[in-house]
């Protein structure tokens, strides 16, 4: 594991300027980022990262297996920020669908890539579970298809605008499915909503529709 500190995370910086910098308690504007590898890294690996471009890597494994990263926010609780970890196969190589996108991370002079689903911990200050779920889905769509990007703060702001409580303290309260759909629309995304019924024929038809999205690795 490699610890990158200080690290400037765009998602956290956005919520820092709009929320954390305005409260009475002082929070740092910087995070730290943890990078994970399956390789056994030698002590000289750090020297390779710091070396100028074009310098041969003497201590970097040829087949560097990157497992992803976790951003640690400098907050009192819910410290897990933007996170992407490598998708692993299920037990006995079970065949199941994983919705993910390829993300890159710059570490020194290395450009690392990992395929996974982004995650962020709801902190109950800037966002709760509903807003975190929206961010996870929309962040994946941005990464995979180049659609508009959103930050946790923008996601919560859209939810507060929807509920008419923009003047209230953050975060907004929990959202219904309908409110989540409308919030996605406010963030410049289009939505299609499917309803599951108890009737077998309708249920099977709706399941086939969802399978179309899942097999193309859309996040539901």
Structure tokens at 204: 């099977």
Residues of the chain with pLDDT under 50: 167-168, 220
- 11 occurs within a structural domain: yes
Q: Which domain holds residue 108?
A: 2-215
- 31 occurs within a structural domain: yes
The per-residue pLDDT for 157 is: 74
Nearest to 4 by CA among 106, 103, 152, 121: 106
**What are the tens digits of pLDDT across the range 1-38?**
899 999 999 988 988 887 777 777 788 999 999 999 98
What is the distance between the alpha carbons of residues 66 and 160, in angstroms, rounded to a whole number? 38
- 110 occurs within a structural domain: yes
Cis peptide before 6 (omega within 30 of 0): yes
Residue 117 exposure: Cα atoms within 13 Å on the Cβ side: 18
Would you say 173 and 163 are in contact if contact means Cβ atoms under 8 Å apart?
yes
The per-residue pLDDT for 109 is: 84
The per-residue pLDDT for 84 is: 94
The per-residue pLDDT for 89 is: 67
What stretches of the chain show up as alpha helix (H) in DSSP?
10-18, 45-50, 129-145, 152-163, 177-186, 200-215
What's the chain's average pLDDT?
Answer: 78
Nearest to 125 by CA among 171, 59, 60: 171
Domain count, the chain: 1
Would you say 110 and 49 are in contact if contact means Cβ atoms under 8 Å apart?
yes
- 220 occurs within a structural domain: no
- 169 occurs within a structural domain: yes
| Confidence (pTM) | 0.78
- 72 occurs within a structural domain: yes
The per-residue pLDDT for 220 is: 43
């Amino acid at each position: 594991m490699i610890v990158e500190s200080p690290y400037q995370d765009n998602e956290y910086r956005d919520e820092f300027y709009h929320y954390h910098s305005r409260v009475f308690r002082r929070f740092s504007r910087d995070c730290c980022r943890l990078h994970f590898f399956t390789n056994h890294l030698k002590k000289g690996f750090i020297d390779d990262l710091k070396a100028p471009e074009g310098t041969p890597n003497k201590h970097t494994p040829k087949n560097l297996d990157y497992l992803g990263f976790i951003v640690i926010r400098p907050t009192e609780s819910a410290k897990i920020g933007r996170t992407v970890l490598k998708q692993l196969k299920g037990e006995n190589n079970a065949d199941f669908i994983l919705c993910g996108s390829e993300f890159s991370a710059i570490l020194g002079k290395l450009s690392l890539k990992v395929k996974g689903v982004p995650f962020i911990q709801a902190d109950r200050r800037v966002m709760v579970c509903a807003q975190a779920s929206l961010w996870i889905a929309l962040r994946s769509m941005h990464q995979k298809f180049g659609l508009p990007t959103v930050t946790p703060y923008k996601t919560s702001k859209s939810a507060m605008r929807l509920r008419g409580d923009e003047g209230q303290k953050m975060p907004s309260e929990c959202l219904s499915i309908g409110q989540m759909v409308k919030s996605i629309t406010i963030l410049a995304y289009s939505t299609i909503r499917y309803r599951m019924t108890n009737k077998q024929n309708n249920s099977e038809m709706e399941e086939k529709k969802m399978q179309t999205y899942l097999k193309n690795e859309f996040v539901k």
